[in-house]
């Protein structure tokens, strides 16, 4: 229904549209008797089922096990929880590495935890011409004192997909943990936590047509070694010890429906995990074709500048238009029925490095599998009119 509102929705990097099946799952659960967990009656048993269904959905999306999936209100909150728990084992002289490419939610929690623990922070830098994050620089950044590397699997601002697996191999060689922000990656290509080399992998379901939640997947054995701050009577088992307060059970129902939706994007057989991999592979191919169409059209416009040119990208472009403030460009697009975004999208370090924040940031066009070639052409026509 949301696709029928007459607008072109290319603000997917900020949050995707929700399928009817997902909304229905949430609504139906809210019309059902659901109690808290741990009771000897059906409404409580349903709560247990919903929690397991939510964990299983994330596990199938990223190739993890349900017992290693921590659910929470959003990725930022969960990253703060994980950073504080991990920092309890850090000592003076230890080091961590963050990158200028990342969303601030995978930077600031680590900087603040490092400052509190007296730990040194090292920065992986971005090539300002291409917006790539060269993996070879980690050879100089890593050493036996490195405890953690935090890096994105895809930039929410410019789409760059770093070679996370190559970075992870280097990090693991010195005994460091990898915390991978896959929030922007999850909607655009198949994920496998093991292939990426992620020790902890964070996603946000509302970016891939799900409800507003966050999740972190890890090996349950790793989570068992971490002890976050928690209330005394709340469960101390993994993964519950990382989850505070009463869960939003109705959203967990929506999370399960989201996994089913993604698995059914294309007709295929197999387990839900296998079907998700097939669907996301097909979505990646489809979206990349749209990206080529969009980028080719934009590069023919002398008044438009695309930030970056990394060879591996999601269908997400940030642009500036000569002589026009990004907000004015976005308002112009909105008047023509196009929902985009402007600013820095919390990629503050990246846009400061590129020098565009002083001019209001950039305009972001974020495509998803529900966008069409006709919509891309409409965007190109609108931007051409700004010359």
Helices (H), the chain: 20-30, 42-62, 75-87, 108-117, 138-141, 164-173, 193-196, 220-224, 249-263, 272-299, 326-335, 348-354, 373-384
pLDDT digit string, tens, across residues 98-134:
999 999 999 999 999 999 999 999 999 999 999 999 9
**Confidence at 380, pLDDT banded by 50, 70, 90:** very high
Give the pLDDT of residue 45: 97
Close Cβ partners of 218 (under 8 Å, ≥ 6 residues apart): 64, 68, 70, 199, 200, 201
pLDDT digit string, tens, across residues 247-298:
999 999 999 999 999 999 999 999 999 999 999 999 999 999 999 999 999 9
The predicted model gives 141-148 an average pLDDT of: 98
pLDDT digit string, tens, across residues 56-80:
999 999 999 999 999 999 999 999 9
**Confidence at 4, pLDDT banded by 50, 70, 90:** confident
Give the pLDDT of residue 5: 87
**CATH 3.40.640.10 is the classification of domain 67-239:** yes
Indicate where the chain has its CATH 3.90.1150.10 domain(s).
Answer: 2-19+272-384
**Confidence at 2, pLDDT banded by 50, 70, 90:** low
Looking at the domain covering 2-19+272-384, what would its CATH class be? alpha beta
Whether residue 188 is predicted with pLDDT greater than 60 in this model: the reply is yes
Indicate where the chain has its CATH 3.40.640.10 domain(s).
Answer: 67-239
Cα-to-chain-centroid distance, residue 151:
11
Give the pLDDT of residue 3: 73
Angle between helices 249-263 and 20-30 (to 10 degrees): 150
Supply the DSSP symbol for 186. T
Whether residue 1 is predicted with pLDDT greater than 70 in this model: the reply is no
Residue 21 in tokens: 């099946």
Report how far residue 15's alpha carbon sits from residue 379's, in angstroms, rounded to the nearest whole number.
Answer: 19
């Amino acid at each position: 229904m949301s696709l029928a509102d007459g607008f072109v929705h290319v603000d997917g990097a900020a949050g995707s549209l929700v399928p009817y099946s997902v909304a229905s799952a949430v609504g139906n659960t809210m019309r059902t008797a659901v109690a808290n967990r741990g009771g000897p009656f059906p409404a409580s048993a349903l709560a247990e089922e919903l929690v397991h269904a939510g964990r299983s959905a994330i596990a199938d999306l990223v190739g993890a096990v349900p017992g290693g999936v921590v659910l929470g209100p959003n990725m930022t909150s969960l990253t703060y929880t994980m950073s504080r728990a991990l920092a309890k084992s850090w000592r003076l002289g230890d080091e961590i590495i963050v990158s200028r490419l990342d969303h601030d939610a995978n930077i600031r929690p680590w900087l603040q935890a490092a400052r509190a623990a007296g730990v040194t922070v090292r920065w992986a830098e971005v090539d300002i011409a291409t917006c790539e994050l060269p993996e070879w620089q980690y050879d100089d950044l890593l050493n036996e004192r490195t405890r953690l590397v935090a890096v994105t699997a895809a930039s929410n601002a410019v789409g760059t997909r770093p070679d996370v697996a190559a970075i992870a191999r280097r990090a693991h060689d010195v005994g460091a943990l990898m915390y991978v922000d896959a929030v922007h990656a999850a909607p655009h290509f198949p994920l496998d936590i093991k292939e990426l080399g992620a020790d902890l992998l964070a996603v946000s379901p509302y970016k891939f047509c799900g409800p507003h939640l966050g999740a972190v997947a890890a090996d349950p054995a790793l989570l068992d070694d971490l002890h976050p701050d928690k209330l005394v009577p709340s469960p101390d088992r993994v993964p519950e010890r990382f989850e505070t307060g009463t869960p939003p059970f109705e959203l967990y129902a929506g999370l399960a429906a989201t996994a089913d939706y993604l698995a059914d994007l294309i007709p295929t057989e197999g387990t839900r995990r296998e079907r998700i991999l097939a669907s996301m592979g097909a979505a990646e191919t489809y979206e990349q074709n749209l990206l080529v169409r969009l980028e080719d059209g934009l590069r023919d416009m002398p008044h438009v500048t695309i930030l970056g040119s990394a060879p591996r990208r999601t269908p997400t472009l940030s642009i500036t238009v000569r002589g026009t403030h990004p907000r004015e460009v976005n308002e112009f697009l909105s008047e023509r029925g196009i929902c985009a975004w402007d600013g820095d999208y919390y990629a503050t370090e990246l846009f400061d490095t590129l020098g565009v924040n002083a001019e209001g940031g950039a305009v972001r066009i974020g495509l998803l599998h529900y966008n069409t070639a006709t919509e891309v052409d409409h965007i190109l026509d609108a931007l051409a009119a700004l010359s």
